[in-house]
Chains A and B, each alone.
Chain A
Amino acid sequence: MIRSELIQKIADENPHLFQRDVERIVNTIFEEITNAMARGDRVELRGFGAFSVKKRDARTGRNPRTGESVEVEEKHVPFFKTGKLLRDRLNGK
């Protein structure tokens, strides 16, 4: 399923809403999650999962082609942990 299919499903269930509003609703949800993580915040959606930011320490990496050492700076990466309910549902519980 891709974004437009998700939007279509929500639109079909809510015939009283304009398609463009459904698009804004769905986009707002994902935008809000990304914005929160960009601020370093967590987003916890019980039953579904939690989005958080993990810190990766600076390290000395290597260019795999040339074998040359390169300093990789500390960085922050997005992380998702599946919620218990969804994890159980995936396994038929």
Chain B
Amino acid sequence: MGEKTLTRMDLSEAVFREVGLSRNESAELVESVLQHMSDTLVGGEQVKISSFGTFSVREKAARVGRNPKTGEEVPIQPRRVLTFRPSHLMKDRVAAGNKR
């Protein structure tokens, strides 16, 4: 198993190699893809990337939580959380690639 951590830089390097734009422009395009995805999700709309997966926003109701250290009850406000559901293709590729 790999255990390496890739960043934006690795993604823009891949775009640079694939399309042959400048490194600078490749980095800007990676950023703009992430920005469009974020903005769409913040607007409450899901982002569905075929053969990759689906990002969706879920509303969580208010509940009473507990500080695990002190046992004190604390109210948790209603909030929106993001969930990612990987596509079957991604699940299969990740399972196959990491099989011992």
Contact = CB atoms under 8 A, between A and B. Distances in A.
B68 to A, nearest CB: 20
Given A1-B48, A28-B15, A41-B5, A53 B98 contact: yes
A42 B4 contact: yes
Interface residues of B, number: 55
Interface residues of A, number: 48
Nearest to B97: A38
Interface of B: 1-8, 10-11, 14-15, 18-19, 21, 26, 29-30, 32-34, 36-38, 40-42, 45-53, 55, 57, 79-82, 84, 86, 89-91, 93-100
Given A36-B2, A38-B97, 7 more contacts: A1-B46, A6-B37, A32-B11, A38-B94, A42-B6, A80-B55, A91-B79
Closest 9 CB pairs of A and B: A38-B97, A40-B1, A80-B84, A76-B98, A40-B2, A41-B2, A39-B2, A78-B86, A82-B82
